[in-house]
Structure 1
Amino acid sequence: MARNSEDPNADVQYHLEVGPEDVAETALLPGNPERLEKIVAFWDDHEIRGHHREYRTATGSYEGTPISVTSTGIGSPSAAIAVEELARVGVDTFVRVGSCGAIQPGMAVGDLVITTGAVRQEGTSDEYVRADYPATADQEVVSALVAAAERLGYDYHTGVTMSSDSFYAGQGRPGFGGFEAAGADDLVEELKAANVANIEMEASAILTLANLYGLRAGAVCTVYANRETGEFRTEGESRAAETATLATHLLAKMDAVKREAGADRWHAGLSLE
């Protein structure tokens, strides 16, 4: 058996530099470290608990619900590290908060996309499990995100996300000097025909790892790019942050109702009212 080069059970995690006392049970996962400040702006209070490399972590509360946020940087390799190390210090629910490109008609820049499952077109999750293992979002997290978007009055869509390792060639965009990867011309049309809703770079790895470890995960992204029209604007970034924050509070309420009802899973017969 191979020996570990770092102790995976150490209290303070190697990359994130956080311990069990630094995080809540639910963590929001933006990619951009600068997005952290936009997320905590919706909270009642917060404190920075860690900052190392691309990983910034803050913990606070919203409407009495403890909540954390950790930036993951760009792509699935660094996102997987965040999930691994946060899980080791007690996080059991993960919500990716990001941006994406939409590929279906009627999806406007500024709309939200709530992921129900993901196409694993990234290599990180392949390191964990066979390629035909599904990357599915937790039903409770999806329900909480939908409920939050409804309460906030934001336009949203639910559907399958494609996660890529590449912003350029892997998403059908030209590379430097006009380079085009094999199949780039047909990629978006094939995904569109398969009813894939959007493209981003982290969701499938986060969902796969959470499922493997028996944890909850979901994703909500703001549409920045419309691949149908070529429109690109960084609009509505705060909508995903606010929706994920409210969803965390709703998940806590759902968990409390489950405990009171003696139910293992949230279902349509239960109510938050």
Structure 2
Amino acid sequence: MPIKESELILNPDGSIYHLNLKPEHIANTVIFVGDQDRVAKVSRHFDTIEFETQKREFKTHTGTYKGKRITVISTGIGPDNIDIVMTELDALVNIDFETRTIKKNLTSLDIIRIGTSGSLQKNIPVDSFLLSTYGLDVNAMLHAYQIDTICNKAIENAFIDATNWDSKKGRPIVIKNSSNLERKFESNKTHKGITITAGGFYGPQGRVLRLPLQDPLLNKKIDSFSYQGERITNLEMETSAIYGLSKLLGHQALSLNAIIANRATGNFSSDPKQTVENLITYTLNKIAD
């Protein structure tokens, strides 16, 4: 049964609706960045750039680095944008746009996020790299999908108990990274931990300007949470959505963050741009190895 035009939306030139891409435009290794300006900061390291496009906040460059074909895409901010980018990327490789049917032989992409974040733990200093072992979803977007087979119920239940999680909020979801990519990208330069993915930057991450929080003690509970040696190391807005949709769609995903602040100590990087640049070159070289 062909997928309806209202579900798989294509532009007049045959490209997919939001990303403005055709299947031949993307590589099987994809780097995600949030900021569209960071796309060029990655691709300037490429030996060649074969394709460029942008629509809205979604900017894409595809090229080669040390002989490896790579695509870098800006996702914008938040799990809702990840839902768009992940779904459309999967469609590009696993749906035949001519027949609007799912291909018999499916393609698995390698997806590596390069982000920035603040550490919640004193032992993870500014200017270090953080590899997310799990994404802990507290924004509820993934509940739109059938996720029971990809969740870690034990960690979820422990987190709910430790934080006295309000039942009016969506149930937290915990999803593992790609073990294959973790082995490839880990080194003595990377710290590890659980990354919380929030649906906003202010209240959802415990920041207060004028609005009071539903649970003003939540961040303290998060900081002290531990499960079998795993601690929550940082808060951001994309990782769990990337991990969840990758698991559901059969892709491999890993989230890396340049730590530019430490909320436990109050420190901020003296040169955050250089820290991000260091993570970009680290990531590219790991991909090319």
User: Which of the five TM-score ranges fits, normalised by the shorter chain?
Assistant: 0.7 to 0.9
CA contact (8 A) 1:171 1:187 kept: no
Q: Who is 1:33 aligned against?
A: 36
Letter in 2 for 1:137: N
Q: Who is 1:181 aligned against?
A: 213
Structure 1 unmatched ranges of 5 or more: 251-273
1:202 paired to 2:238:
yes
Structure 2 unmatched ranges of 5 or more: 94-107, 152-173, 226-230
Deviation beyond 4 Å, 4+ runs, structure 1: 1-4, 8-11
Q: Who is 1:81 aligned against?
A: 84
Residue 3 of structure 1: CA displacement?
Answer: 5.3
Three-state SS of the structure 2 residue aligned to 1:181 is: coil
Q: Deviations over 1:195-229 (max 9, x none)?
A: 10111110000000000011100110111221112
**Residues 1:87 and 1:130: Cα distance change in structure 2 (over 3 Å):** closer
Spell out the pairing of 1:111-126 with structure 2 (5 A cutoff). Answer: 111-126=128-143
Q: Who is 1:138 aligned against?
A: 178
CA distance in 2, matches of 1:48, 1:3: 29
Residue 243 of structure 1: CA displacement?
Answer: 2.3
Q: Who is 1:264 aligned against?
A: none
CA contact (8 A) 2:10 2:17 kept: no
CA contact (8 A) 2:83 2:241 kept: yes
CA distance in 1, matches of 2:41, 2:286: 16
Residue 83 of structure 1: CA displacement?
Answer: 1.1
1:190 paired to 2:191:
no
Residue 135 of structure 1: CA displacement?
Answer: 1.5
CA contact (8 A) 2:78 2:199 kept: yes
CA contact (8 A) 1:55 1:71 kept: yes
Q: Say which of 189, 203, 212 aligns to 1:169.
A: 203
CA contact (8 A) 1:173 1:180 kept: no
**Residues 1:76 and 1:211: Cα distance change in structure 2 (over 3 Å):** same
Q: Who is 1:261 aligned against?
A: none
Q: Who is 2:193 aligned against?
A: 159
Identity over the aligned pairs, expressed in percent? 27
Spell out the pairing of 1:36-51 with structure 2 (5 A cutoff). Answer: 36-51=39-54
CA contact (8 A) 2:122 2:265 kept: no
Q: Say which of 245, 249, 252 aligns to 2:288.
A: 249
CA contact (8 A) 2:122 2:262 kept: no
Three-state SS of the structure 2 residue aligned to 1:89 is: helix
CA contact (8 A) 1:112 1:239 kept: no
1:212 paired to 2:248:
yes
Residue 53 of structure 1: CA displacement?
Answer: 0.4
1:103 paired to 2:103:
no
CA distance in 2, matches of 1:125, 1:246: 32
* Cα root mean square deviation, aligned: 2.2
TM-score (norm 1): 0.81
CA distance in 2, matches of 1:209, 1:87: 10
TM-score (norm 2): 0.77
**Residues 1:231 and 1:180: Cα distance change in structure 2 (over 3 Å):** farther
Q: How many residues align?
A: 241
CA contact (8 A) 1:31 1:98 kept: yes
